[in-house]
Amino acid sequence: MKKLILLFMLITSLMFAQNQTSNTKYNFNVTNDLIVGGDLSVSGSSTAHADIYFNSNGTAQTPVANDTIGVTLFTEGDLSGFTFDAGESGTFTGTADNGGDITITCGGAHTVDVGDWIVISQASSNGSYDIDGVFQVTADGGTTFDITFADWDASETGVWQSPSQLTLSQVGLSNATFRVDWNISASVAGTPAGDQVIWGCYVNGMYQVNTMQQRTLSTGSVYGSFGNGGFVTLTTGDEIFMFFLSDDVNALTHKLGTLRVEQL
């Protein structure tokens, strides 16, 4: 019996020694600097992030006074877990009922799709209501699109924008926290007395107050620089884009700038 016990102890000692000298893989979650002796295997997934920017833009956008305007003309930058749509803008020449929705007749062909978010600014006043704000497209007719709007008047005209927008494409995210940072240099045409302009971000149809900033632009062709940042929550499929709102109608040019979105 003693011999069996001694043999068992010897085998156990040899196994322990073998384990001490064998290659071992370790898994770590690392938030700070790490120094490791030995083989290391690290696994994980990258976070979603995106940036888009103005590439020395010289094309102006003309606002409708005190109406939200979707920012266009961004250029695609680095994307991971997002898709980018540069957007477009146009006019509309009429409105008509479509069984609970409104059919907007555009001044030409467009590329907006069902589910896209667009910004509309009505210029005419044929009745008591104005179609102003951010709406989701419910039908696409090539030269028309439909939106849902409760009170409206027939045969209105105006302008619309499909803003430059980022769509969160990384699967499986629900109410994930993202940091948004943006900065822009802009000028207004002519010799304005002092245009009050607000910029900020929308997530789908909801403006994000914590991302907004206001600036007075008072001298034509002179660029002012400004920016802001904040936290937003995004779910897979959500869209984020920028807007501006001016108290005047002087054309505004976004020369340089960046919109960055990064998952925390």
pLDDT in tens, the chain (264 residues): 555 454 445 555 545 445 444 444 444 454 555 455 555 554 545 689 999 999 999 999 988 889 999 999 999 999 999 999 999 999 999 888 888 899 999 999 999 999 999 999 887 777 667 788 999 999 998 999 999 987 777 788 899 999 999 999 999 999 999 999 999 999 988 766 688 999 999 999 999 999 999 998 877 667 888 999 999 999 999 999 999 999 998 899 999 999 999 999
pLDDT at 127: 66
- Token code pair at residue 149: 């709007």
pLDDT at 26: 43
> DSSP secondary-structure letter at 155?
T
Backbone angles phi, psi at 9, to 5 degrees: -65, -40
Backbone angles phi, psi at 14, to 5 degrees: -65, -40
d(CA 58, CA 150): 38
pLDDT at 22: 44
pLDDT at 45: 55
* R_g of the chain, CA atoms, integer Å: 28
CB-CB contact of 21 with 150 (8 Å): no
d(CA 166, CA 183): 16
Beta-bridge partner residues of 75: 53
CB-CB contact of 77 with 51 (8 Å): yes
Count of beta carbons in the 10 Å neighbourhood of residue 202? 23
pLDDT at 231: 98
Could you tell me how many residues make up the chain?
Answer: 264
Beta-bridge partner residues of 53: 75, 258
Count of beta carbons in the 10 Å neighbourhood of residue 205? 11
d(CA 123, CA 121): 6
pTM: predicted TM-score of the whole model, two decimal places: 0.79
> DSSP secondary-structure letter at 115?
T
d(CA 187, CA 255): 8
Burial 134-170 (b: 16+ CB within 10 A, else e): bbebbebeeebbbbebeebbeebbbbbbbbbbbbbbb
d(CA 170, CA 47): 9
- What structural domains does the chain harbor? 46-86+164-264 (2.60.120.40), 88-162 (2.40.30)
